[in-house]
Amino acid sequence: MSETTLLNRRSFAVLGGMSLLSGCMASPDMLVGAATGGAGKDADFGQLIKSLHAALDKVADQTEKLFLVQASYAEVFGLKKQAASLKGQAIAIKRDGRTGVNFRKGEKETAGLLKDVQKKINGGAKLDAAAKRKLQNGMKDHARAIENAWVGGIMIAKVVIDAQSAKKPTFKDLDSLKYLREILADGPMAIKFLETSKSTYEKYSDAFSAEYAVKVPAKPKVKSLMGSGRGRA
């Protein structure tokens, strides 16, 4: 496959273990995954922050969907407080876009809901046919949202590594310093949220299919965005 392999936002192909999309031109760095690459000595932090914001816009749209799907799981298991909180986060994103996303809170609630649902399952929660259909529909939307969010995740990881590998700006360049701080704060937290979203989806998939015979889609074949634990918040 050539270096100009096309990436598709909806259908993922796994190349060398890294998820790719067709629809935009991919650089060699993007193709081998976010754990490689870097902008070198002369990074343009103004351009990097624009790239980060564009990537976060892509992730935010799917994050809204991820919160709504998880809220539906919470409702199935009678977890009303958790459902309300997740819906509140989704509303904030719908209203404010990427600035309405709190990835730290979202990551914590995503992991916490899984534990709460697992407790319900372990406690012998019984579901009727309608509840099982709700889980089945949710799993389809869940998988699709993760795959689509990974587009932005790849972009974020590339920006973070470019910023990390670049020559650091001087104290005289206040704008670049501000952009660098934002990249290294927001980028890794967004990636951690996406990684947690993927791992919790996989656990839901196993639990719902095993305990309630829910038909679930294939697990998204996407690889860790930063590799070897780099860039995790």
pLDDT band at 224 (very low <50, low <70, confident <90, very high): confident
Q: What is the pTM (predicted TM-score) of this model?
A: 0.79
Q: Residue 190 in contact with residue 106, Cβ under 8 Å? A: no
Angle at 102 between CA 98 and CA 106, to 5 degrees: 120
Report in angstroms the alpha-carbon separations of 36 from 33, 58, 72, 160, 181: 6, 22, 37, 11, 21
202 within some domain: yes
- 147's CB contacts (< 8 A; 6+ apart) are 10, 12, 19, 220, 222
Both structure tokens of 97:
């876009």
CB atoms within 10 A of CB 104: 14
pLDDT tens by residue, 184-204: 999 999 999 999 999 999 999
Alpha helices in 103-171 (DSSP H): 103-122, 129-165
pLDDT tens by residue, 20-57: 223 333 333 332 333 334 445 678 999 999 999 999 99
72 within some domain: yes
47 within some domain: yes
153 within some domain: yes
Angle at 98 between CA 86 and CA 219, to 5 degrees: 60
Query: Cβ-count burial of 167 within 10 angstroms (0-12 exposed, 13-18 middle, 19+ buried)?
Result: exposed
228 vs 233: CA distance, rounded Å: 13
Q: How far is CA 172 from the centre of its chain?
A: 35
pLDDT band at 59 (very low <50, low <70, confident <90, very high): very high
232 within some domain: no
26 within some domain: no
pLDDT of residue 133: 98
For residue 44, what are the domain limits?
40-212
CA dihedral 164, 220, 100, 25 (to 10 degrees): 60
99 vs 168: CA distance, rounded Å: 26
pLDDT tens by residue, 92-104: 999 999 999 999 9
175 vs 45: CA distance, rounded Å: 8
21 within some domain: no
**What mean pLDDT, rounded, does the chain reach?**
83
Helix or strand run (H / E) with residue 193: helix 174-212
Residue whose structure tokens are 């990636």? 191
pLDDT of residue 11: 29
pLDDT(10) > 60: no
The pLDDT > 90 percentage for the chain reads: 72
pLDDT(173) > 80: yes
4 within some domain: no
The larger pLDDT score, comparing residue 222 to residue 210, is at 210
Domain count, the chain: 1
128-135 LR contacts (CB < 8 Å, sep 24+): 131/76, 132/212, 132/213, 132/214, 134/72, 134/75, 134/76, 135/72, 135/73, 135/76, 135/208, 135/212, 135/214
